[in-house]
Amino acid sequence: MAKIGILGAGAWGTAVAKVIADKGNDVLIWSHSKSALEDINVRHVNSRYLPEVALPNNLQACDDIIETANGKEYLILAAPSLYLLDTVKQILTAPSIREGETAIAVLTKGFLPSPKGPRLILETLEDYLPGFYRQSLVYIAGPSHAEEVSRGKITGLIAASENAKNSIRFRDLLKSPRLLVFSSFDVRGVQVAAAAKNVIAIAFGMLDALKTAKSYAGAEDMFGDGTESLLLAAGLNEIQTLGKAMGATHAETFTSISGVGDLDVTCRSVFGRNRRFGREIIEKNIMGPFINLDDLIARIAEVGYLPEGVVAARYVKALAEKFKLKMPISTGLYQILNRETEPEDFLRSFLKGME
């Protein structure tokens, strides 16, 4: 059985760790939280992120990131996008990473900043990792929720890489009778779809809440299920437009589980944090304490959870401007998060623009 390290003990990192450990592999998961360490190692649960899900004994937690990363056959990066680059910088001295002996995959969804503007995750990490990893990293995405995967609900994922061997290795590591994993060579398209769909999901959550919101005059009569499907379809078109501009190689990426599948589950599932954040903009005025988007990101811990679409919204807007793309949903969502417009005004304007 293989030795696996996972960096990030959030819900998704823990769920993937459980799937791999359930197959008999030894899994070490890195967490900087002492309460999480005790939770996982003593009580065999992650009560903060995956309550009531029993974890196997061969899944252990560690607060030493080098120990977690070194000497592993496989390493999976599951830190949020805000912290991913700093996490990778911490493991560069691990001997097995320095020598390129460990295969690396990434679960994180989003974009990363650079002096030249927002970039995709894998190409950014390649600039920091040893040369062995260039065009060999694997990106794992798809319509999935940790709460379901950890409980054995049938789910499909994509393992995308320019290195076919590594894609197959991680596909085989993850797959089980209830977790279907497929390979893809469209690394850029899968990454764009995984990041941009979180932006659309926040807008979808707002619309979902507006359907029954008493505080917005006329909203209940104006918005319905068909309106949501209209928003979802238009959002998918924006994702595909951005993906093409950023070098996606296969149009079917956006009509497969990594495109329309991931977008649909992120928008509609009760487990979706981005959908939840969008609903809470309407229902709880969650944006009230924040001056603008930069202030929201800086104080994101006050929200109590991390909707990745908040971070991605800033980058998607910058990319739309860079490539001169028309992306009204993503741009409008940015304006809402930046306190430039109100949700109902944006939705009315968007729908009028489609006439």
From residue 150, give the alpha-carbon distance in Å to each of 131, 156, 350.
34, 13, 38
212 near 220, Cβ under 8 Å?
A: yes
- Is 197 noted as a catalytic residue in this protein? yes
- Could you write out the DSSP letters of every residue in 27-58? EEEE-S-HHHHHIIIII--BTTTBTT-PPPTT
Q: Which helix (H) or strand (E) is 66 found in, with range?
A: helix 65-69
DSSP code at position 178: T
Please pick, among 89, 197, 211, 326, the residue that the annotation labels catalytic: 197
C-alpha–C-alpha distance, residues 46 and 289, integer Å: 30
C-alpha–C-alpha distance, residues 12 and 148, integer Å: 10
3-class state of residue 306 by DSSP = coil
C-alpha–C-alpha distance, residues 273 and 147, integer Å: 12
Q: Which residues contact 233 (CB under 8 A, 6 or more apart)?
A: none
Q: Which residues are catalytic?
A: 197
